[in-house]
Amino acid sequence: MKKFLPIIVIVVVLVVIIGITVNKVSVDKASDQVVSEVGNGSIAGKDPYTDAVKIGFVPNVIGDSVAAAWGEGIRRELQYYPNIKYQAFDGKASAETQVQIMKDLINQKYDCIILQANDAAALAGAVREAEEAGIPVITLNLDADTPHAALVAMVDYEAGYLVAEEIAKSVGAKEGNVVVIQAPPGASRGINVEKGFRDGLAKHPNLKLLDAQNGEWLTEKGNEVMRDFLTKYPKIDGVFAINDAMAEGASQAAEAAGRLDSMVIWGADGEKKALEYIEQGKLTGTIYTNCYDQGATAARLALYFLSATGDVDTARLTRTPVVKMAPIVVTQKTVGTISPDIRW
């Protein structure tokens, strides 16, 4: 049986944050003071059991393993509502494509949009336009630079910081060389994860960051970047790839060069293939998130915002409320705790 209680509690907390009966509320969000203004009327006032509802999901790339798990989590949560039309659209790793899809969904009067924003700045206008049209936008991991209904995210800054600490443990007191395979420029999650990692490294003066290059979220590009690192640097002790796909590419490159055993390689996400790599000794670790539940959480929030009892105007929020999923640090010692039914 799936354990939804922690996520339900998070959703309840978010509802309190947004406020149903008060005009202004203040909450602590990652040491920031967030002030959210809420409206007096429901943004949609629809009953998903009886009214026709359209919910769209716009990931960066529809075939990506993370997006596929989110989509499945959303679908499972919405399957109990026969009047909800749910459809996913391929963002094709293009901010321009996502902006056009967003405009189409606004024109087609979708009731809610769940978005993985390719570029935080580039998608801000479309997200703002949707909110002003009364369409709540819930972002997943990759946020947009404008206030909107909610962001449901894996831990980002914290994930990077955790990986830095794990690499420091592996290297010990000796001097160590570290490289980073980065996310594309403008991707909010990538920016935050890397900041956490760099801040973590700063606590360990024996660790030197040699280089950082964009791996474009892709296994093939991660492999290419890692091959370049291996050519340029005869000694690499630690590798951090901002997502698992790039970490897998780095592992393949290191193994092909005969240098896999001389370094630790970390990813972040917790996808099934990365867990298998950890079991096989090809990857040192990752930060796991249950992406099925992450997608389901976004769907539950959509239902809340759209329900007849949802007494909030998300277009008037001054900051985006954030729900963060619980992370698990996964290594060969702990990978067995991730059961097959929650591997994505």
Domain boundaries along the sequence of the chain: 5-154+290-326, 157-288
112-115/137-140 β-pairing:
parallel
Q: Name the residue type at position 337.
A: T
CA dist 132 and 172 (Å) reads 53
CA dist 238 and 125 (Å) reads 39
Q: Do domains 5-154+290-326 and 157-288 have the same CATH topology?
A: yes
Q: Evaluate whether 87 touches 64 at the Cβ level (below 8 Å).
A: no
What tokens appear for 221 in the block? 């590009």
Alpha-carbon Rg for the chain, nearest whole angstrom, is 21
Q: Evaluate whether 126 touches 99 at the Cβ level (below 8 Å).
A: yes
Using a pLDDT cut of 90, give the percent of the chain over it.
79
- CATH architecture assignment, domain 157-288: 3-Layer(aba) Sandwich (3.40)
Low-confidence ranges of the chain (pLDDT < 70): 1-45, 308-312
pTM of the shown model: 0.77
For residue 307, what pLDDT is reported?
81
For residue 9, what pLDDT is reported?
40
For residue 312, what pLDDT is reported?
66
| DSSP 8-state class, residue 269 | B
The CATH number assigned to the domain with range 5-154+290-326 reads 3.40.50.2300
For residue 311, what pLDDT is reported?
59
pLDDT in tens, 176-215: 999 999 999 988 889 999 999 999 999 999 999 999 999 9
Helix (H, G, I), strand (E, B) or coil at 312: coil
- For 28, list phi and psi in degrees, rounded to 5: -90, 120
